[in-house]
Amino acid sequence: MGKKANPVYIGLFVVAAIVIAVAAIVLLGASSFKKSEIAVCYFKDSINGLNVGAPVKYKGVEIGKVKNISMDLAMDSRENMIVVFLDIDADLGVSEDWIEFVKEQRRRGLRAKLNFQSIVTGMLYVELDYFADIDEQFSIRHENDSLVEIPVMESSLSDMAKKVEALIENVSKVDFKKIADDADALLVSINSKLGDIDAKAINSEVLATLESVRKVVSDEKILKSLENLNGLISDGRDFFTSTSKTVEDLNSNVSETLSSLNRFVENVNTIVEPNSAVRYEVSMLIRNVSDAAISIKSLTDFLERNPKAILTGKRVKGE
């Protein structure tokens, strides 16, 4: 007959199994208990580098992840859109209705845009921010009572990728082998030209030229001429110094003369003023001279008519 099982061990085993099951549920399935909201974005350009699970960030803070990526195909158009579903954390302090909240925020300029997680890896993430102005016009492709759309702001990533591809293509067209062959041929030509140069003859000519220069510099006549030139420069400097002094003196005299002339003009102006005493006296003098001239003219006229009056004097009426 076998030994009876210990109930304590059985109980401990059951409790341990329950604890392990709860821990597995918490660790492996915690995300399924996390409340979230769904939003959708429609991208027209390539989203190469954006994968499911990529972060969704607002001003650099991760607030969700990319939940799903699909395509919105149109048979009669080339404007096929890439549909990206965003799983946004609902524990962000959004107290009102989620859909109405997003509608109000997109009216205020909320937009979605692609950005690089790393330029090296080329991985992308979805960035949410107020990229547009308030009440700026936008188009809605599809939304309903249970799904709200966030408009997309065009980014420069697509243009950058095209430019990089064009650059790579242009670089690939460069014939580096031909460039290397041309460089080798140029070096060979330079070496051959250098080999043809008579370095010894050139060195001799340079030395001869230097010797001629040394002789010219050490010539006593040239040294004497340089001394005379220095003396001439010194005399010229003295001449200009004295001339400058003379000009300064002349300028001072001219200033004094102009000052005296100004004083003279002021005196003349004072004399010729209408109410000046000098002008009145000059006027009286001119009047007296005029009266005297008139008297002399009358006397002259009388003597011409009566020459004897010089001897007899002027006759009085009645004589």
Q: What is the pLDDT of residues 210-268, one digit of tens each?
A: 877 777 667 677 777 777 777 778 777 777 677 667 767 766 776 777 777 677 667 66
Tell me whether residue 192 is in a domain.
no
Does residue 216 contact residue 210 with C-beta atoms inside 8 Å?
no
Q: Phi, psi at residue 80, to the nearest 5°?
A: -75, 140
Q: Looking at per-residue confidence, does 114 or 174 come out higher?
A: 114
As for how many domains the chain has, the answer is 2
What b/e readout covers 215-238, taking b as 16+ CB neighbours within 10 angstroms? eeeeeeeeeeeeeeeeeeeeeeee
Cα(150)–Cα(215) distance, integer angstroms? 91
Tell me whether residue 143 is in a domain.
yes
Of 157, 176, 198, the position where a domain reaches its end is 157
| pTM for this entry | 0.43
Tell me whether residue 201 is in a domain.
no
Q: Which domain holds residue 301?
A: 272-312
**Residue 91 CB partners (closer than 8 Å, separation 6+):** 35
- Given a cut of 80, is residue 67 above it in pLDDT? yes
Of 141, 157, 173, the position where a domain reaches its end is 157
Strand intervals (E) in the chain: 36-43, 55-58, 61-72, 81-89, 110-116, 124-130, 148-149
Cα(115)–Cα(49) distance, integer angstroms? 10
Tell me whether residue 173 is in a domain.
no
Helix (H, G, I), strand (E, B) or coil at 138: coil
Cα(126)–Cα(66) distance, integer angstroms? 8
pLDDT in tens, 151-176: 998 876 666 666 666 677 677 777 77
Of 129, 157, 185, the position where a domain reaches its end is 157
Cα(125)–Cα(114) distance, integer angstroms? 6
Across the chain, mean pLDDT equals: 76
Tell me whether residue 263 is in a domain.
no
Tell me whether residue 63 is in a domain.
yes
Does residue 48 contact residue 160 with C-beta atoms inside 8 Å?
no
